[in-house]
Amino acid sequence: MRRGLGIFWTLYMLFFAVPFPMILYYNIKNEDPPVLYDINPLLALGIVLVSVILWCMVLGSWLYRWIIVNFKAKSNIQYLVKHGVSRKAEILDVVKVSRSGSKYNTYELVLSFKNLVNTEIRQKAFVNDAKPQQHRFEKGKTVEIRIDKDVKRPPYFIFAESEARINILIIFLISMGWLTIIVLVAGYYIYAYLTENDGMGWRFITYWHPLVICPAILLFYKGIFSYFLNRMINGRKGEPELIKFKGIRTTARQISAEQTGTYINEQPMVLFTIEYEDSQNQTRRAEIKKIVDLLDLGSVKRKTVDIFYLKDNPERIAFVEDLE
């Protein structure tokens, strides 16, 4: 259900980023054709340059997200296998999630192990079992894991016997898709020039031309929805993992929990004020914002709450319930 909604909203926003600006532009242009000889050619070339830069930014971000990130993840895994901090993790629960007939048995595990400051934590993890005959991933057994000592390299922790492989066929198909988009964009530049220049060069291009507006909207989506909203809800990238793998667990006294007036998907944001003692027996007070389901609003009023905090920066905290 969630995946279906994600696809729907992606297509919905894509419509307003690409086809919709084109429909508006060409309808307005046909009703009120511009007078091209009045337009400064240097200004037009500047707009073309801005358009090219915007498209390069969009295509570059897609190249990183679709292709480069896979090679970076492989490199990170190889680094963690060699240099990660070793820990023994107990398997608390096992759920098989792969379908019958799959190449590998895939399990969702609940692990218990000590983090980088020797605080006991729980962590969910998925694993593909390439050696089912060894029965390595059964409840009650222990497995060796590696944790990134700096908590800067996703996936931050791995199983000690992990092997990273890249599906060359998938990468090839994705690369072909990315190159197809480049061809389409370049083709649209050529089409727009041949059909709109009227012998006046690039003077037809304006700030609201689809060659400018489309990449600008796509970057707007990336900036607003992928960065600001995600940061508002989840904090800085890697922040939850950093606090969990380097944090000390303690019980804090909740002083207040008040709605901020901000809503995300009709769910209110609540500002929690808590007080706790750190490892130096100093009393600390901190605030943390969190999106709360409307059905759970009644449960935010409580006397105590378990948190993680960073020893070298006690103001950076997170609720245990959000990390486990």
Check residue 212 and give its pLDDT: 95
Residue 111's pLDDT is 95
Indicate whether 205 belongs to any domain.
Answer: yes
Q: Select from 234, 250, 283 the last residue of a domain.
A: 234
Structural domain span for residue 140: 85-147
**Cα distances (Å, whole numbers) of residue 41 to 28, 153, 216:** 22, 48, 22
* 182 and 253 inside one domain: no
Residue with tokens 């929805």: 225
Whether residue 59 is found in the same domain as residue 92: no
Residues 282 and 316 grouped into a single domain = yes
Q: Check which CATH number belongs to the domain holding 286 and give it.
A: 2.40.50
Q: Are residues 63 and 195 in the same domain?
A: yes
Question: In the predicted model, is pLDDT for residue 1 greater than 60?
Answer: no
Q: Is the pLDDT of residue 177 over 60?
A: yes
Spatial separation of the C-alpha atoms in residues 265 and 215, rounded to whole Å:
26
**Above 80 in pLDDT, residue 231?**
no
**How many domains does the chain fold into?**
3
Q: Find the mean pLDDT for residues 177-200.
A: 93
Average pLDDT over residues 243-270: 89
Centroid of chain to Cα 138: 31
Whether 33 is covered by a domain: the verdict is: yes
155 inside domain = no
Classify the phi-psi angles of 278: left when phi > 0, otherwise alpha if psi is within -120 to 50, otherwise beta.
Answer: beta
- Helix (H), strand (E), coil (C) string for 272-300: EEEEEECCCCCEEEEEEEEECCHHHHHHC
Q: What is the pLDDT of residues 54-99, one digit of tens each?
A: 999 999 999 999 999 999 999 999 999 999 999 999 999 999 888 8
- pLDDT level of residue 46 (50, 70, 90 thresholds): very high
The answer as to whether 12 is a domain residue is yes
Same domain, 177 and 285: no
Question: Residues 202-224: what's their mean pLDDT?
Answer: 89
**211 in the same domain as 174:** yes
pLDDT value of position 234 = 56
The answer as to whether 157 is a domain residue is no
Residues 195 and 209 in one domain: yes
Domain-embedded: residue 77: no
pLDDT at 121 over 90: yes
Q: Outline where the chain has alpha helix (H).
A: 2-17, 19-31, 41-63, 69-83, 168-196, 210-221, 229-234, 239-246, 320-323
Give the end of a domain, one of 198, 216, 234.
234
* pLDDT digits 0-9 by tens, 11-43: 888 888 899 999 998 888 777 666 677 788 899
Say yes or no: 247 and 313 in one domain. yes
Same structural domain, 57 and 174: yes
- The more confident residue out of 105 and 113 is 113
Whether residue 15 is found in the same domain as residue 56:
yes
**Distance from first CA to last CA of the chain, Å, rounded?**
23
Q: Is 161 domain-assigned?
A: no
Instruction: Give the other-Cβ count within 10 Å of 131's Cβ.
Output: 11
pTM comes to 0.77
pLDDT exceeding 70 applies to what percent of the chain? 93
Q: Does residue 266 share a domain with residue 303?
A: yes
Minimal CA–CA distance to 248: which of 147, 324, 317?
317
Domain-located, residue 160 = no
95 and 128 housed in the same domain: yes
Domain boundary among 217, 234, 251: 234
Question: How confident is residue 223, by pLDDT bands cut at 50, 70 and 90?
Answer: confident
